[in-house]
């Protein structure tokens, strides 16, 4: 995988005594920590292997892996996107592109513990879908977001999205999914989802509100006006109206909003318009204008489509980005919501259209600009079946690494040698707090990941190895621990009984073969099962601990696996209770 290196980003230098880097010389074993020489990942989606990408074509999605509720804006010929991160840290990744094809992760809107402190919130709390917008009059970028379980609604701003963002300014308001709209007269408006001011007629009934907003004082002005109640067709009881965005085109205000539940098959995006910003808003008669709800469920389809955000190019053409769930041949998914792109066509009577109800989201689309191609520059994110072998050779981490919740503590400074040490954190996945988990997004439905680790546990509380995290109730660890005088290799998962508890899926005694170094690997190449394997040298054969753990446990599409983000995988070290 392309190693995109953090430059001048203080965030990871202010992290707690979580990471330290050291030279790899023979065995790198130190008390109280685990050493990982490298981390590997390989995607093997059948679709990417079986589909030829011809000149002028690009893959859909444009952002692989978990990127819920992505929004987009433009300044001149520069495009910027921002996504939700929920409980992961740093928060709100910001991507930049010149052509809507090659995207670089340039920054985070909330990169420090001062800006975003989340030490113990549930995995589905934290930073909900943000909106990024450019204000031409102020020559300023703004991101509106919601810190659920924290301070609520906030705004951050920056002259340059790649530079320093302001500390969040919180303002009192209920609901989620706030977005800014800047009108031609210089006024700013805040649009958001919230509860009705009256008893809702059914569960999941929500309202979209608008209110004038003072950017300088970070305050709302005047009354809050309801401009959309319930959704498109109230007779069908649409639920969870959300993700509003507003645009202006040829004298009309256009309101985009989604309904149906963001990870449900009935999810859809609808469009409305008015010549008065406060309404009333006319409903497009062919709503929803973007959905897959009417298609028969089939393997490898894109489902759960919504959270649409429209974009006008400098040449007058329009595009839309939206989230969707890319399923495998067993209707499974490990990435959750990814970011897709499609062109927009305007009807003769002035409505933006995307797809007919019987059209499937295309997996390959035309590149928006002639003469564009995928760049080989390692700054840009990869696409397709992605391979990486990260040896941590830099004095900083790649921006693609994430932590579970916010680390706090003493500053650490990596030295750029090969390998990375992770101290054994007191917390673990079950503690629902920050723990020693350094992770990447899963980028494919079929994948493997692995590491070479030096580690000698001193007691049964110490554990280190690989980990996979979907949510507080769905996570697993595969690694080395002690039981009495013996060294044990275990694959464990968390289950909810009266509380979160570990359940051992498989284990074996490796006392006689283990001398401090082990190679670990997990894959889901076997249909609907995870395989955990190990070996003690790079020239020995792999030994399978188990190939019978159902991958449904980590599959976002399976009933009961309630998560707003996709799977994260990585290296893990902790002191288990």
Domain shared by 154 and 232, yes or no: yes
In the predicted model, is pLDDT for residue 15 greater than 60? no
Cis peptide upstream of residue 140 (ω within 30 degrees of 0) = no
Could you say which of 366, 399, 416 is where a domain stops? 366
- Domain CATH code at residue 406: 2.60.120.200
Please give the structure tokens belonging to residue 144: 């509106």
pLDDT value of position 297: 80
Order of strands across the sheet that contains 474-483: 88-89, 402-404, 436-441, 568-575, 462-471, 474-483, 486-496, 500-509
In the predicted model, is pLDDT for residue 269 greater than 90? yes
pLDDT value of position 434: 86
pLDDT in tens, 502-549: 899 999 999 999 999 999 999 999 888 999 999 999 999 999 999 999
pLDDT band at 367 (very low <50, low <70, confident <90, very high): very high
In the predicted model, is pLDDT for residue 561 greater than 80? no
pLDDT in tens, 426-448: 888 888 888 899 999 999 999 99
Structural domain count of the chain:
2
**Residue 48: inside a domain:** no
Whole-number Å distance between alpha carbons of 549 and 564: 23
pLDDT in tens, 272-281: 999 999 999 9
- Is the separation of the CB atoms in 221 and 229 below 8 Å? no
Could you say which of 311, 339, 366 is where a domain stops? 366
Lookup result for tokens 């059209």: 359
**Residue 492: inside a domain:** yes
pLDDT value of position 409: 58
- Domain CATH code at residue 285: 2.115.10.20
pLDDT in tens, 220-244: 999 999 999 999 999 999 999 999 9
Mean predicted lDDT score pLDDT of the chain: 91
**Residue 131: inside a domain:** yes
10 Å Cβ neighbour count for 483?
14
Domain shared by 93 and 21, yes or no: no
Domain shared by 336 and 452, yes or no: no
10 Å Cβ neighbour count for 384?
17
pLDDT in tens, 500-512: 888 999 999 999 9
In the predicted model, is pLDDT for residue 3 greater than 60? no
Whole-number Å distance between alpha carbons of 45 and 51: 10
- Report in angstroms the alpha-carbon separations of 446 from 325, 389, 555: 14, 17, 12
Domain shared by 220 and 296, yes or no: yes
Mean pLDDT for the stretch of residues 356-362 = 95
In the predicted model, is pLDDT for residue 329 greater than 90? no
pLDDT band at 6 (very low <50, low <70, confident <90, very high): very low
**Residue 4: inside a domain:** no
**Residue 2: inside a domain:** no
Domain shared by 457 and 308, yes or no: no
What percent of the chain has pLDDT above 90?
A: 79
pLDDT value of position 240: 96
Please give the structure tokens belonging to residue 284: 């497009």
């Amino acid at each position: 995988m392309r190693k995109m290196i953090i430059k001048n980003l203080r965030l990871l230098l202010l992290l707690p005594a979580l990471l330290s880097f050291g030279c790899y010389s023979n065995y790198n074993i130190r008390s109280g920590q685990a050493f990982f020489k490298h981390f590997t990942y390989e995607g093997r989606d059948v679709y990417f292997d079986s589909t030829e990408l011809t000149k002028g074509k690009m893959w859909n999605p444009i952002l692989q892996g978990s990127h819920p509720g992505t929004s987009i804006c433009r300044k001149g010929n520069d495009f910027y996107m921002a996504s939700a991160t929920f409980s992961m840290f740093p928060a709100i990744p910001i991507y930049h592109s010149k052509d809507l094809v090659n995207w670089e992760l340039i920054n985070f809107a909330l990169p420090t513990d001062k800006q975003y402190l989340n030490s113990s919130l549930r995995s589905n709390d934290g930073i909900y879908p943000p909106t990024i917008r450019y204000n031409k009059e102020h020559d300023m970028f703004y991101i509106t977001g919601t810190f659920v379980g924290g301070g609520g609604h906030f705004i951050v701003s920056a002259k340059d999205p790649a530079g320093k963002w302001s500390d969040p300014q919180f303002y009192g308001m209920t609901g989620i999914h706030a977005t800014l709209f800047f009108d031609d007269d210089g006024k700013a408006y805040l649009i958001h989802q919230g509860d009705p001011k009256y008893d809702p007629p059914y569960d999941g009934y929500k309202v979209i509100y608008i209110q004038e907003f003072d950017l300088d004082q970070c305050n709302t002005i005047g009354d809050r006006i309801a401009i959309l109640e319930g959704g498109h067709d109230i007779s069908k009881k649409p639920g969870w109206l959300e993700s509003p965005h507003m645009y202006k085109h040829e004298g009309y205000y256009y309101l985009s909003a989604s309904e149906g539940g963001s990870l449900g098959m009935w999810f859809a995006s609808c469009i409305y318009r008015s010549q008065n910003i406060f309404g009333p808003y006319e409903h497009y008669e062919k709503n929803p204008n973007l959905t897959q709800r009417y298609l028969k469920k089939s393997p490898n389809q894109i489902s759960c489509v919504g959270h649409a955000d429209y974009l006008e190019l400098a040449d007058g053409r329009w595009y839309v980005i939206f989230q969707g769930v890319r399923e495998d041949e067993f209707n499974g998914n490990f990435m959750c919501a990814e970011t897709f792109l499609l062109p927009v066509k305007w009807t003769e009577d002035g409505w933006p259209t995307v797809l007919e109800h019987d059209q499937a989201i295309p997996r390959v689309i035309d590149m928006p600009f002639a003469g564009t191609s995928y760049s080989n520059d390692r700054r840009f994110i990869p696409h397709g079946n992605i391979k990486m072998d990260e040896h941590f050779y830099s004095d900083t981490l790649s921006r693609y690494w994430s932590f579970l919740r916010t680390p706090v503590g003493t500053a650490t400074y990596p030295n750029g040698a090969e390998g990375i040490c992770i101290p054994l954190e007191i917390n673990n996945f079950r503690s629902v707090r920050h723990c020693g988990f350094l992770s990447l997004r899963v980028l494919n439905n079929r994948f493997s990941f692995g590491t070479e680790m030096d580690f000698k546990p001193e007691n049964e509380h110490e554990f280190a190895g690989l980990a996979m995290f979907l949510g507080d109730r769905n996570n697993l660890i595969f690694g080395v621990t002690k039981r009495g005088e013996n060294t044990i290799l275990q694959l464990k998962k968390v289950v909810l009984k009266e509380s979160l508890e570990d359940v051992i899926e498989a284990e074996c005694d490796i006392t006689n073969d283990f001398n401090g170094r082990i190679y670990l690997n997990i894959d889901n190449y076997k249909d609907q099962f995870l395989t955990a394997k190990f070996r003690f040298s790079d020239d020995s054969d792999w030994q399978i601990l188990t190939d019978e753990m159902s991958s449904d446990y980590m599959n976002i599409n399976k009933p009961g696996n309630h998560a707003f983000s996709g799977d994260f995988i990585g290296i893990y070290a902790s002191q288990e209770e």
